[in-house]
């Protein structure tokens, strides 16, 4: 099995977490503009692990079909505080617009996803350094999902608590920074404020179908749509797994 590639589009400041009604409006816009399939969306949530090491059973139990249309009640359900909205795409004959700047020849299947979480999600990859997670009270706010107890919605990621349980301070990732390197040529960027922390992100998971080019990025029209829809400045993070 070869390397897998994923790319995140994150709002600067890192704490952005749009309300359910805004997410629904955004999904409708993505569909209208041709970036998402009209049907076939899935929802993946963090659940208790009662399946041991049975990967197929865990995947099936944590995944359900999205309601059509999406509803506020569905998104705001307390059991879905950690949520990936996932649309498989790229099948031959599909009219969905490719979300990255370069499309691979031949097979180009991928998923386009919206990630939503009450706590911060932080992708783990060799090219993504960790942002500082120590609170002013010296409590470390980083955590890992215990996969013996949970089936996490987010793969290849750790978490950061949005609020310190010890002193009730709100964590602000953008007060710190981390070096994030290009996964293809390992060229480091300047230190990025907030690193790769997010509570809401647009994600493209290419699996093994991607163009191995250091210039690979999100499609400019898609970036413009997201920025305009939410009134936010955005930045990109890519990684190989």
Q: Which pLDDT does position 189 carry in this prediction?
A: 75
The whole-number pLDDT of residue 1 equals 57
Tokens in use for 181? 């390197």
pLDDT values of the chain reduced to their tens digit, one per residue, 241 residues = 579 999 999 999 999 999 999 999 999 999 999 999 999 999 999 999 999 999 999 999 999 999 999 999 999 999 999 999 999 999 887 899 999 999 999 889 999 999 999 999 999 999 999 999 999 999 999 999 999 999 999 999 999 999 999 999 999 999 999 999 999 998 877 789 999 999 999 999 999 999 999 999 999 999 999 999 999 999 999 999 9
Q: Which residues of 55-88 are buried (b: 16+ CB within 10 A; e: fewer)?
A: eeebeebbbeebeeebeeebbeeeebebbbbbbb
DSSP 175: G
Global pTM value: 0.96
180 Cβ partners below 8 Å, 6+ apart?
127, 128, 129, 188, 189, 192, 195, 196, 237
The residues with which 218 forms a beta bridge, in sequence order, are: 100
Record the tokens describing residue 213, joined without a space.
């080019």
Q: Provide the H-helix boundaries in the chain.
A: 20-32, 55-62, 72-76, 220-230
Please choose, from the candidates 98, 68, 86, the residue with its C-alpha nearest in 3D space to the C-alpha of residue 155: 86
Go through the chain and tell me how many residues it has. Answer: 241
Contact 47, 134 (CB under 8 A): no
pLDDT recorded at residue 84: 98
For residue 106, the model assigns a pLDDT of 86
pLDDT for 187: 83
Rama region for 190: left / alpha / beta (φ>0; ψ in -120 to 50; rest)? beta
């Amino acid at each position: 099995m070869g390397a897998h590639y994923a790319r995140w589009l994150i709002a600067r400041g890192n704490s952005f977490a749009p309300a359910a009604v805004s997410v629904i409006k955004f999904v409708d816009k993505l569909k209208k503009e041709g970036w998402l399939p009209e049907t076939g969306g899935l929802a993946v949530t963090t659940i208790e692990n009662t399946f041991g090491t049975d990967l197929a059973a865990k995947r099936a139990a944590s995944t359900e079909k999205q309601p059509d249309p999406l509803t506020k009640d569905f998104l705001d359900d307390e059991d879905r505080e950690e949520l990936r909205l996932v649309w498989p795409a790229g099948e031959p004959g599909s009219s969905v617009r490719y979300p990255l700047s370069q499309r691979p020849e031949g097979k180009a299947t991928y998923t386009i996803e919206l990630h939503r979480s009450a706590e911060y999600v932080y992708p783990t990859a060799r090219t993504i350094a960790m942002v500082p997670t120590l609170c002013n009270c010296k409590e470390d706010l980083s955590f890992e999902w215990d996969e013996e107890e949970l089936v996490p919605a987010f793969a290849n990621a750790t978490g950061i608590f949005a609020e310190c349980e010890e002193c009730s301070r709100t964590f602000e990732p953008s007060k710190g920074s981390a070096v994030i390197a290009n996964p293809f040529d390992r060229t480091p960027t300047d230190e990025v404020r907030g690193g790769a922390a997010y509570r809401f992100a647009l994600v493209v998971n290419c699996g093994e179908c991607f163009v191995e080019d250091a210039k690979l990025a999100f499609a400019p029209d898609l970036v413009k749509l997201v920025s305009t829809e939410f009134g936010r400045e955005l930045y990109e993070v890519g990684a190989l797994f």
